[in-house]
Amino acid sequence: MTGPRNPSDIDHPSSADQKLPSHLSARTAGQGIPDEGSLERSDPGDEAASPTAETSNQVCGGAVVDATGLKTKELSDRLRDLMLAGTGRMIVKNACGQRYIGTRLYRPGQASLQIEIFGTPGNDLGAFLSGHRILVHGNVQDGVGNTMDRGEIVVEGRAGDVLGMSMRGGRIFVRDGVGYRTALHMKEYLDQKPVVVIGGTAQDFLGEYMAGGIVLVLDLGNRGHQSNFIGTGMHGGAIFLRGSVNLTQLGKEVEISAPGEEDHALLENLIHEFLIRFPELAARQEELQKSQFVKLTPVSKRPYGKMYAY
Amino acid sequence: MTRRTRRRLIEKEICSCSIFGAMNRSGERFGGGGVIEAIANMHVRGNGLGGGFAAYGIYPHYRDYYAFHLMFTGTSESVKRSSKAEFDAFLHQGFQVVHDEEIPCDDSVWVRDPPLAWRYFVLPDPKGEDAKLSEEDYIVDKVMWVNTRIDNAYIFSSGKDMGVFKGVGFPEEIGRYFMLDREYRGNIWTAHGRFPTNTQAWWGGAHPFGLLDWTVVHNGEISSYGTNRRYLEMYGYKCTLQTDTEVITYAVDLLMRRQRLPIELVARILSPPIWNAIDRMGEKERSIARTLRMVYGPLLMNGPFTIIIAHHGEMIGLTDRVRLRPLTAAARGDMMYLSSEEAPIRLISPQLDEVWTPNGGEPVVGQIRC
């Protein structure tokens, strides 16, 4: 049952989210690992030479790390060494379950790194991320952006559970769907305002105990929002859902309203930012701009204030 | 070149178990190598205190006989041999033994305190009162008897044409120790890497847990263990293996084999919808959900869990109702996979037709087409 092991045989089909329509999920050809030649030309330590648009998802020059067989710490060490050697762009090939990618690259006050990942990175991708940009050509697992501070994570696929847990800044864009407890206890402070945009839908407990920031769920597959317990315990920030949601799906700590004028400007901007990261979805722009959205906000800043104290 | 500055990092214990399952839905058999590789990819989820595998369709030459896998534990070879002698005497009274042998193992793989592992291919030969029992109930009765009455002897696998292989170690070590990649081909494999939380690690406490051809691997914790156990004891199940997963195995045996309930109902017994979700259901569904909660309340598995249940022809993944432990499901052609993480699935099957996150409390069922 073992499949092809040669990296060149591996391409990275989309998340295969069976719930998305074919134009969203059948994105295989041409998204594979770039051919060896184009990658190996750049050597580690070489400062990223091609300053293409920040939002272009193409592979450019950069230091290549083959993660095959590397343990979490070994991969982390390699990336850290590259950073300390001055590398600005890193490409991780064949990631397979290594955790905390991006975490040990804390370097306040210096230029952000570009990290591209091929394969399936492990849990807690970008945990405590501080200002870098991570692009994943494939699916991600649980805990992406855990307590992330600044920077950006773009996922060309689906995500597992607890995406953006305790996130306190930066942005995450996921092309397809996400699992349980997205944006769990996400929070904001002054100008630190985390943003999560999801192309598919979210499963239960979206925005549980959410304390700040913005979550936007686009439901590009037009499946309708099926999840329950949305915003349970929420006490800050806002969740926007394209389409509608049944009141029984919401936690009792949230109220539902129509987005106001300011919200529309925000939504327009976030949709624009989402679509430039996933150009293959550009055709949906008009439909998205015209869509109805609902806004979920907390009823109280302190929903449990009377439960444990008196 | 910038001078290296590296702080010493404390080795982190990442506490959780790993589970993995693979099945070929057209029934084609495959070796255990891929499954070992997949569970090894989640090495950091376990801590080397338990690993194991269940494999179905591995004994085609003895497919009509119950395959008993025995472990004889003890501090010395003579203790193990004497409990084996006691077991052998017991076995020959109630069973015809067609063939028996030591379970082949690779001694070059180091494992801690391996027991003497032996397998017996048997037919039941009940006498007296026992003849009134169904064949399967007879087997269950004798398994319980051995596990509680014969010191240092444990039947840890008792189905036909299938087997459990487990022990103390990382799963990849246990897999290599029992040579699962070389010796066996099966159409369903499940695997487990253990991070024991509440009980001590020992060879019998590793997963999978099996009774007849039913096996369970489990990540999580059953906080309702006491309630579940007392309920199951009323049906003759004796919990001897010092770990919570055992109750799931017996609950599944009671509900699915003895009471013949379909998995859709069993899922609603083990991880029932919460009351306010039940209130929102249509009348018929609500009445079923309420009835199940009332009749089978003591079998509600409380606490976070993900399990993979398997028996011949079927593999089922299930999480607790609010999905407090991970489970990813995937399919590629005839192959179906269940795993704690997606990466190990991709490792052995880079291309997948679909991958998804199952909803809490909703079973994912894979069946071999007949």
What's B307-332 look like in SS3? EEEEECCEEEEEECCCCCCCCEEEEE
Residue A1 within a domain: no
Is the pLDDT reported for residue A294 higher than 70?
yes
Q: In degrees to the nearest 10, what's the CA dihedral of A289, A292, A296, A297? A: 70
Residue A188: give its domain's CATH number: 2.160.20.60
Residue with more model confidence, B185 or B2: B185
Chain B partners of A72 at a C-beta cutoff of 8 Å?
Answer: 44
The mean pLDDT value of chain A amounts to 84
Report pLDDT digits (tens) over A152-170.
999 999 999 999 999 999 9
Residue with more model confidence, A277 or B111: A277
Share of residues in chain B with pLDDT > 90 (%)? 83
Report pLDDT digits (tens) over B332-367.
999 999 999 999 999 999 999 999 999 999 999 999
Main-chain phi, psi angles of B292, to 5 degrees: -60, -40
Q: Identify the residue among B181, B355, B362 best suited for mutation to test binding to A, counting A beta carbons within 10 A and taking the highest.
A: B355
Residue A185 within a domain: yes
Residue B1 within a domain: no
Contact residues, chain A to chain B, C-beta under 8 Å: 1-4, 9-11, 13, 15-19, 71-73, 77, 80-81, 84-86, 95-97, 99, 119-123, 139, 141-142, 158, 160-161, 177, 179-180, 203-205, 228, 248
Residue B11 within a domain: no
Residue B179 within a domain: yes
Please enumerate in sequence order all residues whose Cβ is within 8 A of that of B108, keeping only pairs 6 or more positions apart, or say none: none
Please enumerate in sequence order all residues whose Cβ is within 8 A of that of B169, keeping only pairs 6 or more positions apart, or say none: B48, B50, B51, B111, B112, B177
Residue A2 within a domain: no
Please tell me the predicted confidence (pLDDT) of residue A141: 98
SS3 B233: helix
Is the pLDDT reported for residue B263 higher than 60?
yes
Q: How confident is the model at residue B205 (pLDDT cuts 50, 70, 90)?
A: confident
Is the pLDDT reported for residue A76 higher than 50?
yes
Residue B132 within a domain: yes
Report pLDDT digits (tens) over A103-137.
999 988 888 999 999 999 999 999 999 999 999 99
SS3 B68: strand
Residue A107 within a domain: yes
From B1, B328, B349, residue closest to A160, measured CB to CB? B328
Chain B partners of A160 at a C-beta cutoff of 8 Å?
Answer: 326, 328, 341-342, 357
CA neighbor of B68 nearest in space, from B24, B119, B26, B112? B119
Please tell me the predicted confidence (pLDDT) of residue B11: 52
Q: In degrees to the nearest 10, what's the CA dihedral of B251, B253, B259, B265? A: 60
Q: How confident is the model at residue B283 (pLDDT cuts 50, 70, 90)?
A: very high
Q: Which range is least confidently modeled, A37-51, A162-176, B218-232?
A: A37-51
Is the pLDDT reported for residue A10 higher than 50?
no
Residue A33 within a domain: yes
Supply B11's token pair.
Answer: 């080795």
Q: How confident is the model at residue A12 (pLDDT cuts 50, 70, 90)?
A: very low
CA neighbor of A203 nearest in space, from B290, B328, B342, B221? B328
CA–CA distance, B121 with B101 (Å, rounded to integer) = 9
How many contacts, defined by CB atoms under 8 Å, are there between A and B?
106
**Number of structural domains chain A divides into:** 1
Q: Which range is least confidently modeled, A16-20, A78-82, A147-151, A171-175?
A: A16-20
Q: How confident is the model at residue B5 (pLDDT cuts 50, 70, 90)?
A: low
Q: How many CB atoms lie within 10 A of CB A226?
A: 15
Residue with more model confidence, B334 or B206: B334
Please tell me the predicted confidence (pLDDT) of residue A43: 36
Residue B223 within a domain: yes
Please tell me the predicted confidence (pLDDT) of residue A42: 36
CA B122 to mean position of chain CA atoms = 22
Percentages helix, strand, coil for chain B (3-state, rounded to 5) are: 35, 25, 40
The mean pLDDT value of chain B amounts to 93
Please tell me the predicted confidence (pLDDT) of residue B209: 92
| Token pair 């991708």 in the structure block, residue | A125
Please tell me the predicted confidence (pLDDT) of residue A80: 96
Residue B313 has, within 13 A of its CA and on its CB side, a CA count of 3
CA–CA distance, A281 with A272 (Å, rounded to integer) = 11
Is the pLDDT reported for residue A21 higher than 60?
no
Residue B325 within a domain: yes
Is the pLDDT reported for residue A101 higher than 50?
yes
Please tell me the predicted confidence (pLDDT) of residue B7: 54
| Token pair 């109220």 in the structure block, residue | A255
Residue B159 is which amino acid? G
Is the pLDDT reported for residue A210 higher than 80?
yes
Main-chain phi, psi angles of A106, to 5 degrees: -70, 120
| Arithmetic mean of pLDDT, A88-97 | 97
Helix/strand/coil (H, E, C) string of chain A? Answer: CCCCCCHHHCCCCCCCCCCCCHHHHCCCCCCCCCCHHHHHCCCCCCCCCCCCCCCCCCCCCCEEEECCCCCHHHHHHHHHHHHHCCCCEEEEEEEECCCCCCCCCCCCCCCCCEEEEEEECCCCCCCCCEEEEEEEECCCCCCCCCCCCEEEEEECCCCCCCCCCCCCCCEEEECCCECCCCCCCCCCECCECCEEEECCCECCCCCCCCEEEEEEECCCCCCCCCCCCECCCCCEEEEEEECCCCHHHECCCEEEECCCHHHHHHHHHHHHHHHHHCHHHHHHHHHHHHCCEEEEEECCCCCCHHHHCC
Beta bridge partners of B259: none
CB contact under 8 A, A96 and B343: yes
Residue A72 within a domain: yes
Chain B partners of A94 at a C-beta cutoff of 8 Å?
Answer: none
ipTM: 0.91
Residue with more model confidence, B198 or A298: A298
Is the pLDDT reported for residue A66 higher than 60?
yes
CB contact under 8 A, B350 and A160: no
Q: How confident is the model at residue B125 (pLDDT cuts 50, 70, 90)?
A: very high
Q: How confident is the model at residue A310 (pLDDT cuts 50, 70, 90)?
A: low
Is the pLDDT reported for residue A27 higher than 60?
no
Share of residues in chain A with pLDDT > 70 (%)? 80
Range of the domain at A160: 7-308
Considering A1-10, A24-33, A185-194, B220-229, the range whose residues carry the highest mean pLDDT is A185-194
CA–CA distance, A178 with A157 (Å, rounded to integer) = 9
Is the pLDDT reported for residue B291 higher than 50?
yes
Chain B partners of A161 at a C-beta cutoff of 8 Å?
Answer: 323, 326, 357
* B174: closest CA of chain A, how far (Å): 20
Contact criterion met (CB below 8 Å) for A271 and A227: no
Report pLDDT digits (tens) over B134-143.
999 999 999 9
Residue with more model confidence, B99 or B203: B99
Q: How many CB atoms lie within 10 A of CB A38?
A: 11
Q: How confident is the model at residue A45 (pLDDT cuts 50, 70, 90)?
A: very low
Contact criterion met (CB below 8 Å) for A235 and A285: no
**Number of structural domains chain B divides into:** 1
Chain A partners of B322 at a C-beta cutoff of 8 Å?
Answer: 180, 204-205
CA neighbor of A249 nearest in space, from A191, A206, A201? A206
What's the DSSP call for residue B160?
B
Residue B52: give its domain's CATH number: 3.60.20.10
Any alpha helices (H) in B9-134, and if so which ranges?
33-41, 77-94
Range of the domain at B69: 18-367
